[in-house]
A and B are shown apart, each in its own frame.
Chain A
Amino acid sequence: MSGTTVPAESNETEAEPSVSAATGQEEIQRELSHEEYDPKGTLALILIYFAILMAMWVFMYFVEFLGNELVVVG
């Protein structure tokens, strides 16, 4: 049963559906091997995340540093 004992080379992924799946959940329609699969959707999502991060950093620079007076400590 242990998944890790299945040799990784085998494309035996006719796995059973999740026990928590809804009834009538669609089955896997096709097998994608490592070579056939290109995670470009993931890349797109991560680029969006980075774009948001960059925008927020730039925004913070303007508001918190250029927008405030100098604070002299000590």
Chain B
Amino acid sequence: MSTQTDQPSFVDRYPEEAAVVRRSLLVAFVMLGIGALMGLVQALHRTNVLRIIDSADYYTVLTAHGVFLAIVFTIFFLVGLYQWAVTRSLDRSPVDIRFTHAWATMMTVGSLMAGAAILLGFIDEVPVSADVLFTFYAPLQAHPIFYAGLAIFIVGTWMAGADWFRTWLAWRKDNPDERIPLQTFMVLTTMIMWYVATLGVAVEVLVFLLPWSLGLIDSVDPLLTRTLFWFFGHPVVYFWLMPAYLLWYTVMPKIAGGRLFSDPLARVVFILFVLLSTPVGIHHQYVDPGIAQGFKFIAMTNTMFLLLPSLLTAFTVVASIEHGARQRGGTGLFGWLTALPWRDPAFTGMALAGLLFAAGGFSGMVNAGMNINYLVHNTLWVPGHFHLTVGTAVALTFMAGTYWLWPQLTNREIYSRPIALAQVVMWFGGMALMSNAMHVAGLFGVPRRTAEPQYSFDFPALFGTIGELRLQIAVGGTLLFISTVLFLSNLAFSLGTPKREGFGQTIPPALSGPEDSPAVLDNMKLWAAIAVVLVVLAYALPLGAIISDNGLFGVGIEPYPMLVRPLFDWAGATLAGLAEVIA
């Protein structure tokens, strides 16, 4: 990689912001390393290839894998990327960089608290654990420090959003008649979606799970906390995906040698995500008793509409890279595919991520359909699906994007481009193997989330054998782990490559620019209001029904594990006494 440009790089122009971005990415990658190790342990354990942990510790491993990768890795990468995108596309610094440092620190502290609670689950002598999985709803109960860490982390992301909105408002004062630059538009719409979505998890954690874990309240309603979790739990998948989309829409055409096909279409896609991401969460609860079929049907309909922005993306992004290929001299109906820069790990990684995302689209449609969801619910099919989406479309795009972004943040070259290329290709191959085997195993009825997937019945394999599928999962998981190690070590060696000039990059304007789109697309207040209305329509009745059936705090269930109950019983008693005195 010896391309030279006369452009100053991002770190030349915005050294302080680049430092924040680098720090966010480094936290993300540390978590990626730990999470990937947990993934390997799991893949080898449940396939019975290599068992280094006790099966009782499986859920600690699974929780660490889920929380570190799906929450900390993805969201830290997001805030780093978005800080870069806002600074770059508005061409201005945050209003107050101390505030930027403040949210980055808060998010880090929150992650460390939640992460410590999870990892202490391995040490029996310490009565702290958080084996509650990525979906941390009741009746599983974690140590209060886990919930407190999560809350601090989420508040950190809110502050990050506020920081970007503030920067935009300051920019708008100086540029009252200009359209919002596309990257900033993507950041702002993502954050509107995030503010709406995190209301659910904030209520779940602060009103129910944290007081419950502290012993302040005796019981919670599992259905209510599940519903509040999924209120957040589906839009969070778009929170992972939006930064990948940002890279696909704005960076990938550039790397491919072309220009974004349509800026208006990109804006429409992000607006659709603002509107439709949240009122769909109940589609994760198709088999939950206590929610009427009609509400599930509404969630399904909204979900099917939500396919639209992803299909629009498939068109716009592929058309943009085809434009690049044809500018590079590609011809023919399919011949242009060979004119793409396949040796560029940033391009290849993102393209392969998009390819597997298309496959994930199909299994996602199956998950979304109320009737066929029953075929695959809680089977290994579901992890197979989301390893294509968050595990590849998002994670592989982030890694590929890093190969492009990192030199601009450090003025240092990536240590080895061939290793980078091998790494992204290995991720693709490993995931094709593992995810395919998981989907097939799911159709045979192999359950998810268990260290011992052996029940009293035999799984009939329609073809091949269960042993063969297990082997594929183990080999695929190992390839993915090796790929992660290659990525991290390549990046670590890149810290030591000599500094030099010439890493500046421009992003070419879209073929059809923002002036072709109606100005109403930039009206953030309008879209936020409509999103809230849609959420109220989708959730008011189901939540009302749940609360009127069981009350706010349920009919009384015993939490598991009962860690802190003895410790905090006195606190609850004291507070109850106080309440009586006050009353």
Decide if A and B touch, CB cutoff 8 A: yes
**Chain A residues within CB distance 8 Å of chain B:** 1-10, 13, 15-23, 25-34, 37, 39-42, 44-46, 49, 52-53, 56, 60, 64
Residue A29 contacts which of B183, B327, B403 (CB distance < 8 angstroms)?
A: B327
Residue contact A28 to B344, C-beta cutoff 8 Å:
no
Interface residues of B in 168-226 (CB under 8 A from A): 181-183
* Docked pose: A23 CA to B375 CA in angstroms: 50
B362 CB contacts on chain A under 8 angstroms: 52-53, 56
Residue contact A3 to B506, C-beta cutoff 8 Å:
yes
Residue contact A2 to B327, C-beta cutoff 8 Å:
no
Which of B3-11, B114-122, B378-386 participates in binding chain A?
B3-11
* Known A-B contacts A2-B89, A8-B514; A16 and B417 likewise in contact (beta carbons under 8 Å): no
Residue contact B89 to A64, C-beta cutoff 8 Å:
no
Which among B181, B347, B408, B508 has the highest number of chain A CB atoms within 10 Å? Answer: B508
* Docked pose: A8 CA to B254 CA in angstroms: 15
* Known A-B contacts A1-B8, A18-B254, A34-B512; A40 and B333 likewise in contact (beta carbons under 8 Å): yes
Residue contact B5 to A4, C-beta cutoff 8 Å:
no
Given A1-B13, A19-B503, A26-B328, output 11 extra A-B contacts at Cβ < 8 Å. A3-B508, A16-B5, A21-B1, A22-B344, A23-B1, A25-B343, A31-B327, A37-B511, A39-B319, A46-B314, A53-B362
Residue B3 contacts which of A8, A18, A30, A60 (CB distance < 8 angstroms)?
A: A18
A2 CB to nearest B CB, Å: 4
Closest chain B residue, CB of each to CB of A29: B329
Residue contact A34 to B511, C-beta cutoff 8 Å:
yes
20 of the cross-chain contacts (CB-CB < 8 Å) are: A1-B13, A1-B88, A1-B506, A2-B91, A2-B506, A3-B254, A4-B89, A8-B510, A16-B7, A18-B3, A18-B254, A20-B407, A22-B341, A37-B326, A40-B333, A41-B332, A42-B322, A46-B314, A52-B362, A64-B372
Residue contact A18 to B328, C-beta cutoff 8 Å:
no
A41 CB contacts on chain B under 8 angstroms: 322, 325, 332-334, 336-337
A18 CB contacts on chain B under 8 angstroms: 3, 254-255, 341, 344, 346-347, 404, 505
Residue contact B509 to A22, C-beta cutoff 8 Å:
no
A20 CB contacts on chain B under 8 angstroms: 1, 255, 344-347, 403-404, 407, 414, 417, 420
A25 CB contacts on chain B under 8 angstroms: 341, 343-344
B403 CB contacts on chain A under 8 angstroms: 20
The count of chain B contact residues (Cβ–Cβ below 8 Å) is 70
Judge whether B571 is part of the interface by a CB distance below 8 angstroms: no
Closest chain A residue, CB of each to CB of B87: A2
Closest chain A residue, CB of each to CB of B88: A2
Judge whether B323 is part of the interface by a CB distance below 8 angstroms: yes
Residue A42 contacts which of B254, B315, B328, B332 (CB distance < 8 angstroms)?
A: B315
Interface residues as binary, B244-266 with A (CB distance below 8 Å gives 1, 0 otherwise): 00000000001101110101000
Residue contact A19 to B408, C-beta cutoff 8 Å:
yes
A3 CB to nearest B CB, Å: 3
Interface residues of B in 129-188 (CB under 8 A from A): 181-183
Residue contact A32 to B327, C-beta cutoff 8 Å:
yes
* Docked pose: A40 CA to B343 CA in angstroms: 24
Judge whether B34 is part of the interface by a CB distance below 8 angstroms: no
Judge whether B2 is part of the interface by a CB distance below 8 angstroms: yes
* Known A-B contacts A20-B420, A30-B329, A41-B333; A1 and B5 likewise in contact (beta carbons under 8 Å): no
Residue contact A8 to B509, C-beta cutoff 8 Å:
yes
Residue contact B506 to A15, C-beta cutoff 8 Å:
yes
Judge whether B530 is part of the interface by a CB distance below 8 angstroms: no
A31 CB contacts on chain B under 8 angstroms: 327
* Docked pose: A21 CA to B325 CA in angstroms: 14
* Docked pose: A26 CA to B324 CA in angstroms: 12
B322 CB contacts on chain A under 8 angstroms: 39, 41-42
7 closest A-B pairs by CB: A8-B513, A3-B507, A16-B5, A39-B319, A4-B181, A22-B343, A20-B346
B128 CB contacts on chain A under 8 angstroms: none
Closest chain A residue, CB of each to CB of B512: A34
Judge whether B318 is part of the interface by a CB distance below 8 angstroms: yes
B420 CB contacts on chain A under 8 angstroms: 20
Closest chain B residue, CB of each to CB of A1: B7
A29 CB contacts on chain B under 8 angstroms: 327-329
